[in-house]
Amino acid sequence: MTPLAGNAAPRITFGRNGAGGGSGPKVCSFALSGWLLVDRRVLTLRGNGSPPTARMPTLAEAESGGAGVRTRMWTMSSVSQILFLLALSATASPQEWRFYGGDPGGTRSSPLKQINRQNVRNLKRAWTFHIGEVDRGGKETDRHHIAPFESTPIVIGGVLYFSTPANRVIALDAETGQEIWQFDPQAGRTGPRQRFQHRGVAYWQSKIGGEGRILYGTFDGRLIALDAKTGKPCREFGKDGTVDLRAGIADAYPGAEYSVTSPPAIYQDLVITGAAVPEYPSKGPGGDVRAFDVRSGKLVWTFHTVPRPGEVGHESWDGDAWRERTGANVWSIMSVDAERGLAFLPIGSASYDFYGGDRKGSDLFSNCLVALNAATGKLVWYYQMVHHDIWDYDMPAPPVLITVRRGGRAIPAVAQLTKMGFVFILDRLTGKPLFPVEERPVRKSDVPGEAAWPTQPFPVRPPPLVRQSFSEREISTVTPESNRYCAQLFHSLESHGMYTPYGRKMTLVVPGTLGGANWSGASFDSASGYLFVNTNELGAVGAMEPQAADAPARYRRGSKEGEYARFWDEHQWPCQKPPWGTLNAVDVNKGEIVWKVPLGVVDELKTTTGTPNLGGTIVTDGGLVFIGATIDSRFRAFDARTGEQLWVGDLDASAHATPITYMGRKSGKQFVVIAAGGGGYFRGKVSDALVAFALPD
């Protein structure tokens, strides 16, 4: 019986009885994570309320000394003691939210059920924390008039950690909302304070559990490590707690964007990060993904998202088009299969996003889901979901590590959501689709020099979650004024269905860059096999306009509303008939949509519309799906089985963020927390509130 590395050493803790907490008697529970070898099988122990799972050790584990080959031994010697601990581990309940996605695999699922279908209607605001950043101008490069507050907190040891648009990190008492510490990376700087969207921080803990660090990136390209207890920089990390991420990547482009807007991934003692890079022009900082030692900040490995000569995928680039190519980056959230040592990278499109005349080919690894060996950065597999992207259809959502049940087998899988409204479900170990995917012919481009790829992959199942074409009969009729505006706009546009390239004339592309699932992602309930996805029904408008002879690109997308014009009216109401935003439950075992309901309301209208939305879902064992996201400044809970809305609460502003849930260690209360800041792509109220809800005493 040999222990394998886990996130924390086995430990005995005390908590309240039952997965939902509550006011029952306190009992001893065993929080354990890691692997054991029992009867030649690897037994995976989870401190998350899930039963242990057994499997045979892999060849890689055997070769590396894992799964029974190592010599360290448990201090407990008898089988009866081990079985006792296993029994306790099977009923242990996590009180925390340790990762952006709840767990390394991004399932955003919680076993807590104190708040459930029967009592969620009683949910009340427990506390509100104001970050002091109401007045926040956005960055012109991001097309935001007001920087959104998109942070998803994490909770460890009764402390809630989150980031702000000014890149501050704040630690709060998770039960009271009282500030413990804050760190400001802009402290002491002269000039106006900068703000940008930022989605959160990551947490690392030493194997013996004594040291904890908060790791996150900044909009000016720094990777920072903070002591989780004090908020002070870890001086041995990089230079005085900071690694300059621009070094070795953006040296030749000192004025170009290189920003970290999402929390890094953590695997063992590595912190893995991507970055946001320019969408225009085509040359600039590379989109490489890198891993650093979490203690020293030293670079451990680099994965070239645009392959170099001799690397897999290099042949997909024409001539020297790969050189100094920007884009093909991971700006969103990565996921990790800690058990198998895999990191999953949702890679964006190659720049320039809307014109590929200088990058003929399929352009690997742009628009791919890539699986790497998390320890070495070596490629395991890749799957490209858009060939030669000229629509800005990058992979925006965190990959979700799921299980597909088929013919009595449990297949480890990964679900990747897309702006196109497709859900790709792949075998997690091989990258092969678990449902048929067809390569279908698509329309050619009429832009000189462009070479649109002749086919694109279309998953047969699950069906698309949003419309992928538009006709005159679908023009919105919510008001006569909206109908007139949208009809006039529609008749001025070219439109030829899915994957219509932006052409020389004004073109309607459905869905657009804010369509489909976007970075909101999904949550997954393993018991039902349901994947919960909120989507936008929103098209985009533009034409490819010729540029000056000395311009970086021969053509650039444009319109009277700018480069990123939407197919909506003067109120920002989409031009197609509602619903404009939906919440969906997808059965990943069958590849079917189980239910679909409108998400959000437009108060000025008297019909059920749904609204455009950004921000994700979480699902709990209380049978609930929680989501903000909508542009109506509300927070909602839905029945996970049926899609019925069970509760709605008012917020200070729209919550373009993903909520979390956790159990208070002192109060025994389950909390649900969400950032409600407004801003971003949408109009409406602006706030700086982090809001917690709980059941009343």
pLDDT in tens, 399-418: 999 999 999 999 999 999 99
Q: Residue range 211-233: average pLDDT?
A: 97
What's the whole-number average pLDDT of the chain?
A: 88
- Tell whether 4 is covered by a domain: no
Confidence of residue 244 (pLDDT cuts 50, 70, 90): very high
Residue 80's SS3 state is helix
Answer yes or no: is 302 within a domain.
yes
Contact between 466 and 515 (Cβ < 8 Å)? yes
Residues 620-665 have pLDDT tens digits of: 999 999 999 999 999 999 999 999 999 999 999 999 999 999 999 9
Kindly state the percentage of the chain with pLDDT values over 70: 85
Q: Is the pLDDT of residue 484 over 70?
A: yes
Burial 94-125 (b: 16+ CB within 10 A, else e): bbbbbbbbbbbbbbbbbbbbbbbbeebeebee
* pLDDT higher than threshold 50 for residue 693: yes
Give the pLDDT confidence of 292-313 residue by residue, as tens digits.
999 999 999 999 999 999 999 9
In a domain, 477, yes or no: yes
Q: What is the pLDDT of residues 385-401, one digit of tens each?
A: 999 999 999 999 999 99
Cα 262 to chain centroid, rounded: 8
Domain finish residue from 91, 118, 138: 91
Residue with tokens 């407990």: 76
Q: Which helix (H) or strand (E) holds 41?
A: strand 41-45
- 174 close to 662: Cβ distance less than 8 angstroms: yes
What is the model's pLDDT at position 440? 98
User: Which candidate, 618, 612, 542, 533, places its Cα nearest to that of 579?
Assistant: 612
The span from the CA of 502 to the CA of 491, in Å, is: 16
Residue 246, domain member (yes or no): yes
Q: Nearest CA to 228 among 244, 249, 242, 214? A: 214
Is the pLDDT at 380 greater than 50? The verdict is: yes
Q: Which of 353, 392, 394, 569 is catalytic?
A: 392
Position 94 scores a pLDDT of 67
pLDDT tens, position by position, 5-17:
333 333 333 333 3
Residue 86 has a pLDDT of 39
679 in any annotated domain: yes
Question: Is 96 a member of any domain?
Answer: no
Tens-digit pLDDT profile for residues 16-40: 333 333 333 333 333 333 333 333 3
At residue 577, does pLDDT exceed 90? yes
Where residue 689 falls among pLDDT bands split at 50, 70, 90?
A: very high
Q: Are 674 and 659 in contact (CB under 8 A)?
A: yes
Residues in a beta bridge with 156: 159
697/691 Cα distance (integer angstroms): 18
Are both 481 and 572 inside the same structural domain? Answer: yes
The CATH number assigned to the domain holding 236 equals 2.140.10.10
Residues 386 and 501 in one domain: yes
Tens of pLDDT, residue by residue over 614-624, are: 999 999 999 99
Give the pLDDT mean for 351-363.
97
Q: Is residue 626 part of a domain?
A: yes
Cα separation of 266 and 103, whole Å? 11
Q: Helix/strand/coil (H, E, C) string of 286-309?
A: CCCEEEEECCCCCEEEEECCCCCC
- What DSSP string runs through 51-78? PPEEEPPPHHHHHTTTTTTS----S---
Residues 60 and 130 in one domain: no
Confidence (pLDDT) at 143: 56
Same-domain check for residues 41 and 132: no
Domain range enclosing 16: 11-91
- Work out the average pLDDT over 680-693: 92
pLDDT digits (tens, 9 = 90+) for 433-479: 999 999 999 999 999 999 999 999 999 999 999 999 999 999 999 99
Give the Cα separation of 416 and 18 in Å (integer).
Answer: 33
Q: pLDDT at residue 67 above 80?
A: no
Do 627 and 636 meet the contact criterion of CB atoms below 8 Å apart? yes
Task: Give residue 187's pLDDT band: very low, low, confident or very high (50, 70, 90).
Answer: very high
Domain boundary among 91, 117, 144: 91
Residue 130 lies in a domain: yes
pLDDT score recorded for residue 190: 87
Asked whether the whole model's pTM tops 0.85, one would answer: yes
C-beta separation of 228 from 265 below 8 A: no
Give the C-alpha separation, 26 to 13, whole Å: 11
Number of domains in the chain: 2
Active site (annotated) includes residue 446: no
Establish whether the linkage from the previous residue to 459 is cis, with ω within 30° of 0. no
Per-residue pLDDT of 589-626, as tens digits, reads 999 999 999 999 999 998 899 999 999 999 999 999 99
